[in-house]
Structure 1
Amino acid sequence: MKHATAPGDVTAACTSVVAGFFEALDLRNHESAVALFTPDGIWERNGTHLKGRTAIAQALAERPAGRTTFHLVANPLVSLQDASHAEVRFFLVAYEANKGLVEPIAPSAIRRCVDRLEFDGERWRIAHKSSQPHMPPASV
């Protein structure tokens, strides 16, 4: 189904949520990352279907302490489905390093992502986050 392109303020707000999530994730500010989801939000992550903020927070708390990540969001396209629902499609290039790594890093994943957002009357939040492999990273 084709949806109308979102007006500028909705586009900016929705892409800000997507970028804000990955900034919080990369800075290990898990509480802020979780707050960007709706209370019953779903994250399809690493083959696991995480439902609700509690499950998402638990998964983030289990991330290895010595692991550093960087997520680059590229080519975001926002489609407004109705006044309170939008979809953001984008590509994601992920990098990761473990403490003590001295070699140059290469992308660890290149993914095609879809975030479905809902407006809760005050702000846009992630209702459903999913991704699939787009192409293998250079290190494969």
Structure 2
Amino acid sequence: METMNSPERWSLVIAAGQTVIRMYHALDRSDYSRASRCFTPDGIWERGGNALHGQQQILASLNQRSATLFTRHCVTNFLLVEHSGSVAKAEFGLTVYRSDKGAPPMLPADRAVAAMLADVECELACNDGGDWLIRRLDPRITFAS
């Protein structure tokens, strides 16, 4: 039986956390194809009040984003709350910085202010290749500007 501090548990926490961070990293770099592949083929993303079902619907929604939108998503307090076999549940905080001035951003961006803070519930599943993918991503906005 795994203990809370077992190497297997820490390995799972790292793998699950990396999947989430990889998805937001791709999203912030407008690599929407890579972001959508961080989800299971039937994954669900509760986004903007709509449930996006599957990689194709997620990709189609992301492709509608403004070409000049500049974002940075910061994941904090990642916590694995449940694990059973090839399924895991995690919770984390998400801070989103957003700017869209109608032109490609000039870095550093001026006066960065968080556009949103959210508490996120995330379910992940391990595929046959041993990769953890997001099965459900459900951000609950706690603060919005």
Q: Normalized against structure 2, the TM-score is what?
A: 0.86
Partner of 1:15: 17
CA distance in 1, matches of 2:11, 2:80: 11
Three-state SS of the structure 2 residue aligned to 1:19 is helix
**What letter is aligned with 2:134?**
I
- Post-superposition shift, 1:83? 1.2
- Post-superposition shift, 1:9? 0.6
Partner of 1:130: 138
Deviations 1:3-33 (A, max 9, x none): x857011010000001001000001111111
- Post-superposition shift, 1:104? 0.7
CA RMSD of aligned residues (A): 1.7
Residue-pair matches, total: 134
1:69 aligned residue (62, 71, 74): 71
Which blocks of at least 5 consecutive residues in structure 1 are unaligned? Answer: none
Q: Indicate whether 1:26 and 2:28 are aligned.
A: yes
Q: Identity of aligned pairs, percent? A: 27
Partner of 2:89: 87
CA distance in 2, matches of 1:21, 1:107: 19
Which blocks of at least 5 consecutive residues in structure 2 are unaligned? Answer: none
- Post-superposition shift, 1:133? 1.4
CA distance in 1, matches of 2:83, 2:16: 13
Three-state SS of the structure 2 residue aligned to 1:12 is helix
Q: Normalized against structure 1, the TM-score is what?
A: 0.89
**What letter is aligned with 1:22?**
Y
- Post-superposition shift, 1:51? 0.3
Partner of 1:110: 117
CA distance in 1, matches of 2:10, 2:110: 41
1:39 aligned residue (41, 48, 57): 41
Segments of 4+ in structure 1 off by > 2 A? 99-103
Q: Indicate whether 1:119 and 2:126 are aligned.
A: yes
